[in-house]
Structure 1
Amino acid sequence: MRSLPYWRLSGFYFFYFAVIGAFAPYWSLYLQSLGFSALQIGVLMSLLLFTRIFSPAAWGWLADHMGKRVRVVQIAAASGLLSFCGFFLGESFAWVFFVMLSMSFFWSASLPLMEAITLSHLGERTDKYGRIRSWGSVGFVLAVVGIGYFLQSVEIIWLLWIILGLKFGILIFSYQIPEKEIINYTAGLHTVRQICLRPEVMAFLIASLLMLFAHGAYYTFFSIYLVEHGYDKGFVGWLWATGVICEIGIFFIMPWLMRHFSLKHILIFSFACAILRFLLIGQGVEWPLNIVFAQVLHAATYGAHHIAAMMVIHQFFHGRHQAKGQAIYTSIAYGLGGALGAISSGYTWDWLGAETTFFISAAAALTGMILIAWKMKPFSHQ
């Protein structure tokens, strides 16, 4: 990997996903400790995703205008750190809403730009992407397990200090990544709008939205759901870690999978695993082995899906459209899909119950799988 800033890119992913490892399982518990209702928690957690609807496009435009993607990542990292400090200043719903909204606006800028930066540094060596991205999963695992045990013996307020330290790590590594020149050659005769209106592209983007919608209840209420059914926080941390450990494994075998299976078939398999996973969580929470197996399926529902999606975006949007394609994918899938999933799960959790909420997640994954099978072409990543 000569000339590739492997460890600097990997270090950024490590701290970025370590923050997610602190947020995804435990932030809802912190919000619950402040006395917020399930609907309020759903609304607050959705802000992390809602800002991805418009923020990536805004930051992507700024990066294109400046011609310096890394500089924009540095600005976002510093601003996100400062915004997070607002949590130490108040605990009312309105204040937490404002701080989460501002922090999320800066937070959502980094990842799509980092994906574009990483793929630019890789060039033709896209098979190395999984190795670099796997360090993000390592950071997630260490954070989710360590924090789970730590919170067994300390007050939940300590979560704020842990996340603050991890955000400093993001800021430090953002200044270690070298800028990569944006090659301004044509991506063909099609505009971004024309590419997005192609049936297979529309099907892929809508299916991606449905996949992240399906995960909305999981990311928002999974920890609360398990704790309410008698699981201790340390075990909950290990359950989250189990999913991401399996995700790391899939990152390393994805080059082999992509040589033997088309991206379409990998995506179909990941959606099928999502259907099974959410049915298991909703119907079998009383049996720990069911929940452990559901977490193993994270390797497919996130790991395989994510890398296959990155390669599909790389195929659909290349050249001068690469960063825009990443922003569009992030906005539609993680932004709109994730936000709708989090907010709707807040409603259904109270009114219809956890079982029905996860059944809706499985139904959304089924719809996404049908779209991929119906409209997408079975091309490879080559």
Structure 2
Amino acid sequence: MSHKSTGALSRQYFLYFAVLGVFLPYFNLYCYHIGMNGLQIGTISAVRSVVMVAFTLLWAALADRLMIRKGVFVFCNILSAVIWVFMLSAEGYGSILWISVIHAIFLGPMIAFLEAFTMETLEEDRGMYGRIRVWGSLGFIIMVVVMGRVAELYSLWLIVPVILAGFIAQAVNSFKISGVSSRGGGLPSRGIKDIITARSSVFLAVGFLMLVSHGAYYGFFSIHLEKEGFGNLFMGVSWAVAIAAEITVMIFAQVFLKRFVMERVLLFSLIAAVVRWGVLGLTSNAIIILLSQCLHAFTYATFHVTSILFMDQLSSREFKTIGQSLNNSVQYGIGMMVGFFLAGYLYEVAGTAFAFIVSAGISGAAFIIMWAYQAKPSGSLQEPREPLG
């Protein structure tokens, strides 16, 4: 593991999540301000997720079979920047929907490939994952605060060109990522069969529900705050508090992974989600909202780190990309798709507060499934393994 290799990975995480720091809090708000309703916003987000699921797995299968992971990764980074150019002139629901769909074809696999590159670069130092991934959180928090202030002073229209600049920077840096080749030589169906077990199925089901519960947050949190009377600056600060909590966990991930078994980390994360979404659905107090954002350390950070390392354990070397792509597709693809559709519908019929209450119930259901499975004598998710880093 070289400093040069980890440096390129850290920069790519920084750039990828810096773009998300603009996109997640402000793009749906931008769509809302140009006249879209909640169902249209939810549909765009959900359809993007569908496309990202399908093409993440297709790109991963192609890359692992032909041993061209880096080539596919660079190609997708370049095309994502090129296609986003058309968003500069998009004005209505139809045009933004189609551009988003085509863009998702190439955006989808980028994070799964990056996770696979990172796991293989770290090798036996997998516990160091959090210290590389934390650069993504830093990128997110910087951009969410900066763009909150920029949007307050100038206009939400600036987010589209800022996102474009981020995609261009990612494309440039993608050439510097060290590609790790698989043995290849066959279809990846055997690797998928090995990955899909009772343990992994329960985990993926729980991850699916956890991300469904995040649909209201990622899709409508900023809109929720605006309807409660908060400005763009408070929105930016709220998102920043969440990412600051996430950064803390990422830095110390190696410590808690050595001290706590996987099931306890997951169960605690799910309980934190129940509390967090319940708070957002029941109060409009600024201080309480900011305090609830600290729970992002558990609803996202601990859950995410555990997910990445768990799938890495399950995947043989030649199927690392498939493993991470499967995890990413089920959680951030299908889970977010259902979450966005559900949140968009609930927003239209009952408002954002009710959507967050439903989210609390969904994460509660995930907790029950996880608890019931791990309570069985043979129900442990975690196989015996060597200590992480």
What is the TM-score normalised by the length of structure 1?
Answer: 0.95
CA displacement, residues 13-66 of structure 1 (integer Å, 9 cap, x when unaligned): 000001100000000111012211111011112233222321111110221233
Q: 1:185 offset after TM fit, Å?
A: 11
Corresponding residue for residue 323 of structure 1: 321
Which of structure 1's runs of 4+ aligned residues deviate more than 4 A?
183-186
- For 1:111 and 1:222, locate their aligned partners in 2 and report how far apart those are by CA, in whole Å: 23
8 Å CA contact 2:66–2:185 kept in 1: the answer is no
Alignment of 1:285-364 (within 5 A): 286-364=284-362
Q: Is 1:165 aligned to 2:165, yes or no?
A: yes
8 Å CA contact 1:63–1:69 kept in 2: the answer is yes
- For 2:228 and 2:6, locate their aligned partners in 1 and report how far apart those are by CA, in whole Å: 42
- For 2:216 and 2:166, locate their aligned partners in 1 and report how far apart those are by CA, in whole Å: 25
CA displacement, residues 226-260 of structure 1 (integer Å, 9 cap, x when unaligned): 01111110111011011011101001112111111
Q: Which residue type is aligned with residue 300 of structure 2?
A: Y
8 Å CA contact 2:53–2:329 kept in 1: the answer is yes
Q: 1:381 offset after TM fit, Å?
A: 6.0
8 Å CA contact 1:70–1:178 kept in 2: the answer is yes
Distance 1:185 1:87, change over 3 A: closer
Q: Which residue type is aligned with residue 230 of structure 2?
A: Y
Tell me, what secondary structure is at the counterpart of 1:230? coil
- For 2:153 and 2:141, locate their aligned partners in 1 and report how far apart those are by CA, in whole Å: 19
- For 1:199 and 1:378, locate their aligned partners in 2 and report how far apart those are by CA, in whole Å: 9
Alignment of 1:128-277 (within 5 A): 128-182=128-182, 191-196=191-196, 198-277=197-276
Distance 1:126 1:194, change over 3 A: closer
Give the one of 359, 373, 376 matched to 1:375: 373
Q: 1:191 offset after TM fit, Å?
A: 4.8
Tell me, what secondary structure is at the counterpart of 1:123? helix
- For 1:192 and 1:90, locate their aligned partners in 2 and report how far apart those are by CA, in whole Å: 39
8 Å CA contact 1:217–1:342 kept in 2: the answer is yes
8 Å CA contact 1:43–1:342 kept in 2: the answer is yes
Q: 1:4 offset after TM fit, Å?
A: 5.7
8 Å CA contact 2:64–2:184 kept in 1: the answer is no
Q: 1:328 offset after TM fit, Å?
A: 1.1
CA displacement, residues 95-147 of structure 1 (integer Å, 9 cap, x when unaligned): 11100001111111111011111111111110111011000000000110000
8 Å CA contact 1:25–1:219 kept in 2: the answer is yes
- For 1:202 and 1:174, locate their aligned partners in 2 and report how far apart those are by CA, in whole Å: 32
Report the identity percentage.
Answer: 27
Q: 1:330 offset after TM fit, Å?
A: 1.2
CA displacement, residues 278-337 of structure 1 (integer Å, 9 cap, x when unaligned): 0001101x2112111111000000000000111111122232232211111111111111
The alignment of Structure 1 onto Structure 2 pairs a total of residues equal to 378
8 Å CA contact 1:311–1:381 kept in 2: the answer is no
Unpaired stretches in structure 2, ≥5 consecutive residues? 375-379
8 Å CA contact 1:49–1:334 kept in 2: the answer is yes
What is the TM-score normalised by the length of structure 2?
Answer: 0.93
Corresponding residue for residue 60 of structure 1: 60
